[in-house]
Amino acid sequence: MKISLHPIVKLSDFGERKAIKLISKVLTKGTVAVGIGDDCAALEIDDDYLLISTDMIAENTHIPKIMTPWQIGWFIVAINLSDIAAKGGKPLGLVLSLGLPKNKNVDFLEELTRGADKCATTYKTSIIGGDTKENPALTICGTAFGLVKKNNFMSRKGSKPGDIVAVTGRLGGAGAGQFSIQNNINDKKTVKILLEPTPKIIEGQLLSRCKAVTSCMDISDGLSSSLYQLADLNNVGFKILKEKIPVSPVLLKLAEKHKNIDVDYYSLHFGGDYELLLTILPERFKETKKKILRDGGNLTEIGFVTKDKKIQINDNSKKKTLQNRGYEHFK
Amino acid sequence: MKISLHPIVKLSDFGERKAIKLISKVLTKGTVAVGIGDDCAALEIDDDYLLISTDMIAENTHIPKIMTPWQIGWFIVAINLSDIAAKGGKPLGLVLSLGLPKNKNVDFLEELTRGADKCATTYKTSIIGGDTKENPALTICGTAFGLVKKNNFMSRKGSKPGDIVAVTGRLGGAGAGQFSIQNNINDKKTVKILLEPTPKIIEGQLLSRCKAVTSCMDISDGLSSSLYQLADLNNVGFKILKEKIPVSPVLLKLAEKHKNIDVDYYSLHFGGDYELLLTILPERFKETKKKILRDGGNLTEIGFVTKDKKIQINDNSKKKTLQNRGYEHFK
């Protein structure tokens, strides 16, 4: 009989981020430059970091029934490239492990591969290997590699009080897609924002070359969740100005027709937009924004880093604490 | 309505190796040196190849109920390092993606991480990142990285008629473990050979430095299956001498007690030993073997490469075709 001194704790009571901390505590630290807890692992190769991102998606939890096999392939590549983008990396390639139920059609595999290939080639990279295995539940694991000059690497750590907080693109478009699916509106263009996200590879590389970014991560689980993660890692807080949040025009248009949409929820919490959240030296913000705009991107100041560890959101003159309503696995 | 010109084919009628060929056909080829179909993908970095191996395991298909969480962790690291070993690589690190059912205990995660960490550190490398996600079926995906000098890289392709066929170590130990589990013998030491395989990292690096190996792969799915894969890739055949196969003494001892063991099945077909199968220049075999022995390893000549594409096995004076009874997914 094994007597455990710990009470039995289920992962469902523990949550994903505690689980990651536990893993990090158990592991023997190697020579890795950046390890568990960042978007990517990073290995030193001469003047570069080799960036490595791995992400797994599974039916039920990540793959809505409406998603086509092509979109599943696109999605797994896109979310992995998004992690490379957040570090300023240039993609080198990806490997995919496919866990497929036995009764899936060969067409399913072919379409999934086409979607993955299309996303990879769109961002000037390719699928270079993989594994296919039987799995009772459809499960796809992607691992992406990238390179970034050590000097240009954007870490999740480095924010200082006074830094400007900014985001690329617009927030809430993926949320609009989710609302559209759940309410059987099924506007294809809107749903596409959710199911075919675009990694911010160009923006990431531009930002990293500016050498003004003090911390960066991609917003996969929602702005509020991402802010809480950055605050925790950097031992700081944030003051966010709600009227400055660049809400997706697609979400705003949908909200005109459907009065029941919770615009705040979809723009501040829902996630899925895969934009970049960053902190940046205030004196370098304007020139950096100019460079991003010149390349067709977008960069919006939404607040600043504070010494006080609270995460506040100012809605006109009302101050309140931003709730962490982002998605967390197991919970 | 989508009209498909192909008949609907299930993966279960198609098999894993056909699936890999289909994927390979669909993908846009990048600048990758070695792609789909080898144990590893390889990317050029100056004088080296960066080797990348990815492997996924899932409950039911790969994780016997008897396997402890610690062993699951060890196993996923070991099988990925084995692919790095087969190319002659020095491990750089691994990332793990864990797909965990919500109701798993935190202890399970901790033990799994400890097992993975132990295997990585045993082979002088470390786990440098990962992902944890909910999954209805326990699914673990590992991705390992390694480096090898371009000149030392051992491909799956390159066998020529006349080359000697050799294997490292002994075959059938993992099969003895399987027999032991299935027959409730549960001898811990024997079961351990199956559940805690050891990647041939040292042998792989020694072999690659000898520059005499013309093709190499690890024997994960059984000797017969591996020979069929090498024959297909190299457009050659093999003549194997059955009495030379280095059968595991553990299997032979078990067979003394249990007359119903099919020793041939477990040594020639079952797999799970993660030894290396290689072809080597005949004039270089002896010195290479000496080097392997000096480092505590083992290298046994079991036959030779033939122009004739059959795979023959000579059992004393009886010649017959070696059946391909190795494991293949989906089938």
pLDDT in tens, B88-104: 999 999 999 999 998 89
- The whole-number pLDDT of residue A58 equals 93
Of B77 and B3, the one with more pLDDT? B77
**Which DSSP symbol is given to A284?**
G
* pLDDT tens-digit series, residues A150-182: 999 999 999 999 999 999 999 999 999 999 999
- The whole-number pLDDT of residue A12 equals 78
Are A10 and B131 within 8 A, CB to CB?
Answer: no
Are B93 and A28 within 8 A, CB to CB?
Answer: no
Q: What angle do CA B113, A58, B94 make, to 5 degrees?
A: 35
Pairing of strands A90-100, A127-134: parallel
- The whole-number pLDDT of residue B186 equals 77
Domain annotation covers residue B101:
yes
Distance separating alpha carbons of residues A94 and A48, to the nearest angstrom:
18
Interface size, chain A vs chain B, as Cβ–Cβ contacts under 8 Å: 271
* pLDDT tens-digit series, residues B269-324: 999 999 999 999 999 999 999 999 999 999 999 999 999 999 999 988 888 999 88
**Chain B residues closer than 8 Å to A14 by CB:** 106
Q: How far is B240 from chain A (nearest CA, A)?
A: 29
- Report whether B29 contacts A125 (CB < 8 A): no
Q: What's A313's domain CATH number?
A: 3.90.650.10
Are B130 and A61 within 8 A, CB to CB?
Answer: no
Pairing of strands B276-280, B318-321: unpaired
User: Residue A54 is encoded by which pair of tokens?
Assistant: 């791995």
Q: What is the mean pLDDT of chain B?
A: 90
- The whole-number pLDDT of residue B331 equals 55
Q: How far is A57 from chain B (nearest CA, A)?
A: 7
Across the interface, of A32, A56, A117, the residue whose CB is closest to B28 is: A117
Residue ranges, chain A, pLDDT below 50: 1-5
- The whole-number pLDDT of residue B5 equals 47
Q: Are residues B182 and B306 in the same domain?
A: yes
Chain-centroid distance of CA B194 in Å reads: 13
Among B188, B173, B164, smallest CA distance to B219 is for B173
Domain boundary residue, one of B94, B121, B151: B151
Global ipTM: 0.86
Q: Are residues B167 and B309 in the same domain?
A: yes
**Could you tell me the pTM of the whole model?**
0.90
Pairing of strands B90-100, B127-134: parallel
Q: Are residues B59 and B118 in the same domain?
A: yes
Domain annotation covers residue A63:
yes
Task: Let me know how long chain B is.
Answer: 331
**Chain B residues closer than 8 Å to A73 by CB:** none
Asked if pLDDT for residue B37 goes beyond 70, the answer is no
Domain boundary residue, one of A99, A130, A151: A151
CB count within 10 Å of CB A202 equals: 16
Are A129 and B38 within 8 A, CB to CB?
Answer: yes
**Chain A residues closer than 8 Å to B38 by CB:** 129
- The whole-number pLDDT of residue B231 equals 97
Across the interface, of A26, A41, A141, the residue whose CB is closest to B110 is: A26
Q: How far is B294 from chain A (nearest CA, A)?
A: 29
* pLDDT tens-digit series, residues B56-114: 999 887 788 899 999 999 999 999 999 999 999 999 999 999 999 988 989 999 999 99
Q: How far is B27 from chain A (nearest CA, A)?
A: 6
3-state SS of A213-242 is EEEEEECCCCHHHHHHHHHHHHCCEEEEEH
| Range B121-160 burial, b when 16+ CB lie within 10 A, else e | eebebbbbbbbbbbbbbbbbbbbbbbbbeeebbbbbeebe
| Best residue of B18, B53, B97 to probe chain A, by most A CBs closer than 10 Å | B97
Are B27 and A52 within 8 A, CB to CB?
Answer: no
Q: End-to-end distance of chain A based on CA atoms, in angstroms?
A: 30
Distance separating alpha carbons of residues A247 and A260, to the nearest angstrom:
17
Domain annotation covers residue A11:
no
Q: What share of chain A is helix, strand, coil (3-state, %, to 5)?
A: 40, 30, 35
**Chain B residues closer than 8 Å to A16 by CB:** 132-133
Domain annotation covers residue B9:
no
* pLDDT tens-digit series, residues B239-283: 999 999 999 999 999 999 999 999 999 999 999 999 999 999 999
Across the interface, of B99, B106, B113, the residue whose CB is closest to A27 is: B113
- The whole-number pLDDT of residue B1 equals 39
Query: Which structural domain, as residue segments, surrounds residue B71?
Result: 30-151
* pLDDT tens-digit series, residues B123-161: 999 999 888 888 999 999 999 999 999 999 999 999 999
Q: Are residues A161 and A205 in the same domain?
A: yes
Are A131 and B40 within 8 A, CB to CB?
Answer: no
Q: Are residues B179 and B218 in the same domain?
A: yes
Domain annotation covers residue A23:
no
Q: Are residues A187 and A302 in the same domain?
A: yes
Number of domains in chain B: 2
User: Residue B138 is encoded by which pair of tokens?
Assistant: 């326990």
Q: Are residues B64 and B205 in the same domain?
A: no
Stretch (H or E) spanning B99? strand B90-100
Radius of gyration of chain B (CA): 20
Domain boundary residue, one of B123, B151, B179: B151
- The whole-number pLDDT of residue A287 equals 96
- The whole-number pLDDT of residue B236 equals 98
Q: Are residues A177 and A86 in the same domain?
A: no
Q: In which order are the strands placed within the sheet that holds A237-241?
A: A213-218, A276-280, A164-168, A299-306, A237-241, A311-315, A318-321
Q: How far is A146 from chain B (nearest CA, A)?
A: 11
- The whole-number pLDDT of residue B35 equals 56
**Chain A residues closer than 8 Å to B96 by CB:** 54
Are B139 and A135 within 8 A, CB to CB?
Answer: yes
Q: Are residues B175 and B89 in the same domain?
A: no
Of A290 and B31, the one with more pLDDT? A290
Q: How far is B246 from chain A (nearest CA, A)?
A: 29
Domain annotation covers residue A4:
no
- The whole-number pLDDT of residue B177 equals 95
Domain annotation covers residue B13:
no
Q: Are residues A41 and A53 in the same domain?
A: yes
**Which DSSP symbol is given to A103?**
T
Domain annotation covers residue A5:
no
**Chain A residues closer than 8 Å to B43 by CB:** 92-93, 128, 145
Are A26 and B50 within 8 A, CB to CB?
Answer: no
Q: Are residues B122 and B191 in the same domain?
A: no
Across the interface, of A29, A50, A137, the residue whose CB is closest to B136 is: A137
- The whole-number pLDDT of residue B151 equals 94
Q: What's B137's domain CATH number?
A: 3.30.1330.10
Q: In which order are the strands placed within the sheet that holds B299-306?
A: B213-218, B276-280, B164-168, B299-306, B237-241, B311-315, B318-321
Across the interface, of B30, B57, B120, the residue whose CB is closest to A126 is: B30
Q: In which order are the strands placed within the sheet that holds A48-58?
A: A41-45, A48-58, A139-149, A90-100, A127-134
- The whole-number pLDDT of residue B294 equals 95
Q: Are residues B182 and B79 in the same domain?
A: no
Distance separating alpha carbons of residues A89 and A201, to the nearest angstrom:
7
pLDDT above 70 as % of chain A: 94
Distance separating alpha carbons of residues A203 and A274, to the nearest angstrom:
12
pLDDT above 70 as % of chain B: 93
Half-sphere exposure of B300 (CA within 13 A, CB side): 17
